[in-house]
Structure 1
Amino acid sequence: MVTLSVNGVEQTVPVSVQASLLTVLRNDLCLNSPKYGCGLGECGACTVLVDGVAARSCVIPAAHAGGRAVTTLEGLGSAGRLHPVQQAFIDEQAAQCGYCLSGMIVMTAALLARNPDPTDEEIRRELSGNLCRCGTHLEILKAVKRAAHVMRSASEASS
């Protein structure tokens, strides 16, 4: 058994030694945003935040996530109040098939938490490990820039 804090909710689930965090999130907790892509931590489809850091859930043993804060796309925002990154990806129509989208959004949220004003090169470098086969790369770049602008404006307004 392992107790996981996922999207702010603590849940205890039985896990085998071989179970990845991705498997537990999808199969046991019914969170479908992290996707199985390569199973090797190379494509980014399974990206989640672990203690605020972007991580590939397909290569993290679920037992090692106990006691850590895990955030999936579902935990970034809600249907009534989207996270600025989620809204920016919608506004810029930065998806086609959508398979990579969860990982891209989570990775972007992690980037903007560390660097609120990234350059195009910094965005490209940060997202380079998240594979998109549909070719929405320009729209994704625009979405990241839009989210950064919105988040900076909100931060300045609250200061």
Structure 2
Amino acid sequence: MLTSAQRQAKQPVSAVLAGPYGHPLHPIPVTVPIGALAAALVGFLDLRAVPTGTRAFRVGLAHMSLNLVVTLAYAGDFLWRRAAQPAHEAVPAGMLALSAVALALLGISGYLGGKLSYRSGVRVADEDTQAEGYVPGAGRHRPDGDA
């Protein structure tokens, strides 16, 4: 049985902006490229659906914060390389270290994002809706657009 907080976290803040129930938009722009601004915008909308004071909300804040730090690190690294690095010279250790740290933080943030979806079920359909996919003989196209 789902609690009201779990039901709230599964619902979109805005189906138009964040994707309809069972089809969140956040995972789509994350892949091209990971951490794209479009992913941050719809991810923020997804976070608004999670009740504050919950573990899922804290994980979501950590996920968002790490992504912001990574974005700033990559932007800073780009500007640093552009200002201080002629194209034909080796990259200094500090620049490589910044890139490596940013990549490690991105991996941690991705882990937290997966935890939000797969462990906490944020913006994932409830168990009854998921169970529809395992009904023998099902699979015919439904009028609401789902297969």
TM range, smaller chain: under 0.3
TM-score by length of 2: 0.25
TM-score by length of 1: 0.24
Higher helix share: 2
Task: Return the index of the structure with the highest Cα Rg.
Answer: 2
Higher strand share: 1
The structure showing larger relative contact order (alpha-carbon pairs under 8 Å, at least 6 residues apart) is 2
